[in-house]
């Protein structure tokens, strides 16, 4: 029964990533932040929903699983509140599409992240998870850019092909938001298991 519940949580995380993440990425394409080599729909490659769905599962499932190892004692919050936290990711995406230079975008996104971190659950554990997510996500995108799958139109980090300076900030915000969504979907199951 519990594995079925976790299976549904993984499905929901995948669907959120595949739809919400893909929509935000389409916004990046529309606003000329990035370009796919072989676009299929809305300027995006066919594999984009799978990439964002997999990323949401990786973040949303790993965070509640790693929390006990880090001594994190965060309980699940209401699902609606966790879904609302995705607004912070949208805000970071909006900043990334502005005409500001990359350093200014990093400053604004860092400000957004720190405010989100203060409101969503302070603690060194969330900072560590955000750092790991930011590094991992940025490295994956660097590999995809190097493979020629897509490109950023104003890459300024690690040369060409590269990624923008602000990219890790988006992943840090996603770590907080999608991590909390995962906790909301998965932790009630482990709480019930712990009581029985």
Query: What is the DSSP track for 25-71?
Result: HHHHHHTTSEEESS--BTTB-TTHHHHHHHHHHHHHHHHHHHGGGGT
Average pLDDT on 97-117 reads: 91
Q: CB within 8 A of 11, min separation 6: which ones?
A: none
Q: CB within 8 A of 148, min separation 6: which ones?
A: 37, 161
The larger pLDDT score, comparing residue 58 to residue 192, is at 58
Confidence category of residue 173, pLDDT binned at 50, 70, 90: very high
Number of domains comprising the chain: 1
Q: What are phi and psi of 136, to 5 degrees?
A: -65, -50
User: Model pTM?
Assistant: 0.86
Q: CB within 8 A of 155, min separation 6: which ones?
A: 145, 161, 162, 163, 164
Average pLDDT on 34-40 reads: 93
Confidence category of residue 187, pLDDT binned at 50, 70, 90: confident
Check residue 3 and give its pLDDT. Answer: 62
Q: Which residue has the tokens 């400000």?
A: 111
Give me the helices (H) in the chain, please: 2-16, 22-30, 48-66, 79-84, 86-96, 102-120, 124-146, 167-195
Q: Which residue has the tokens 């590094």?
A: 135
Rounded-to-integer distance, Cα 46 and Cα 43, Å: 10
Check residue 194 and give its pLDDT. Answer: 39
Average pLDDT on 20-27 reads: 94
Confidence category of residue 76, pLDDT binned at 50, 70, 90: low
Q: Could you list the residue range(s) of the whole structural domain that residue 187 is in? A: 2-195
């Amino acid at each position: 029964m519990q594995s079925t519940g976790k299976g549904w949580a993984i499905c929901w995380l995948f669907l959120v990533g595949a739809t919400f993440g893909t929509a935000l990425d389409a916004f990046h394409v529309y606003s000329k932040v990035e370009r796919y080599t072989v676009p299929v729909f809305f300027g995006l490659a066919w594999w984009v929903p799978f990439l964002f769905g997999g990323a949401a599962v990786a973040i949303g499932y790993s965070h509640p699983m790693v929390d006990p190892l880090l001594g994190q004692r965060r309980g699940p919050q209401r699902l609606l509140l966790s879904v609302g936290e995705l607004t912070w990711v949208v805000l970071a995406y909006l900043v990334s599409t502005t005409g500001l230079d990359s350093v200014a975008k990093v400053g604004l996104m860092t400000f957004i992240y720190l405010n989100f971190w203060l409101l969503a659950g302070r603690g060194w554990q969330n900072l560590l998870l955000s750092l790991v997510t930011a590094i991992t996500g940025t490295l994956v995108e660097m590999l995809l850019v190097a493979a020629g799958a897509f490109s950023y139109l104003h890459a300024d980090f690690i040369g060409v092909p590269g990624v923008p300076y602000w990219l890790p900030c988006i992943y840090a915000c996603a770590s907080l938001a999608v991590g909390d969504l995962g906790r909301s979907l998965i932790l009630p199951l482990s709480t019930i298991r712990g009581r029985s």
